[in-house]
Amino acid sequence: MAHFLTRVLKALCESPLRILLLFFVVLFRSCQYVCVRVLRAERRKSVSGETVLITGASRGIGRCLALEFAKHGADTIVLWGRDEEKLSSVKKEVEDIGTSRCHYYRCDVGDREQVYRTIQKVQEDVGTITILVNNAGVVHGGTLLETKDDKIEETLRVNTLSHFWTTKSVLPSMLARGRGHVVGIASTLGLFALPGVSDYVTSKFSLVGFYESLAAELREQGHRDVGVTCVCPGHTTTDMFKDLTTQPFSLTPQQVAEQTIEAVKTNQRRVILPRVMHLTWILKSWLPGSWMRNVLYVTGAMKDMDNFCAKR
């Protein structure tokens, strides 16, 4: 590690212009963050009275999102998942809070026709969805050559294509009402890649692009009251990543849920968690690829993924 840091410092010292530019980039981003937070704090919106649909709601981040939306006064919460027993348990937890009505539906979001049928059923039973949270996801682990074709297809259907299908289904009613919010739970692996999960990384990179494009489309069409938020959490201690060695900046599902609702209230387009991961994103743009790889080794990310894949 000492040798690596010496190389980095030496290279930076040989290029003072790069240091200066990096300093101004970090300074600008810091000032931008503070200013945006102050301005948004003055025009926060409420989720009270909203009808919220959450996919992948039977556990982990989805479960915490359901409970947090209930605590913040959402009128109706709709849970989607594949495990009816767990969905029923989350429904009871939501209703015990005493502020929200709750419904659950068994739905495999990787099945397009099932998504469209279930959305229609929800709209008949509940009415218009005003906040959509696309949270469902799968991960398998393995290099490209180790991963079977059906697993690759499942990852892309569940992690990426389902966001297209659900959003296409609820967006027209949001536009007609002139308000609404679409949230996508992506990953920091949608900002930089690690080996051993190429299908997962591809699906998350796609999501970051999808939500950036969707936000641009709505903005250009004048639909500024329909919000779009892409949340990129780092390693989160959920069952999905239980085989991953705990990292120094690990998040809990509760932390991700709280920050997601804060992002909806302040209409943030992209949220990177934890905040320190902003630095990694900046470094990726400035450091040569081989150096960035060394950074990931130093932080333990590479080793963690090796251990994760070995246990799958």
* Residue whose tokens read 């008949």: 124
Distance CA 62, CA 14 (A): 48
User: CB of 65 within 8 A of CB of 97?
Assistant: no
CB-based burial, 274-299: b 16+ in 10 Å, e otherwise: beebbebeeebeebeeebbebbbeee
**Cβ contacts of residue 152 below 8 Å, gap of 6+?**
199
Residues classed as catalytic: 200
Tokens of 236: 């989160």
Distance CA 169, CA 156 (A): 19
Q: Look at the alpha carbons of 82, 85, 90, 96 in this order and tell me if their dihedral is positive or negative.
A: positive
Q: How far is CA 191 from CA 275, 278, 309, in A?
A: 14, 10, 20
User: CB of 228 within 8 A of CB of 211?
Assistant: yes
Compute φ and ψ for 82, nearest 5 degrees.
Answer: -110, -15
134: nearest Cα among 77, 57, 234, 51: 57
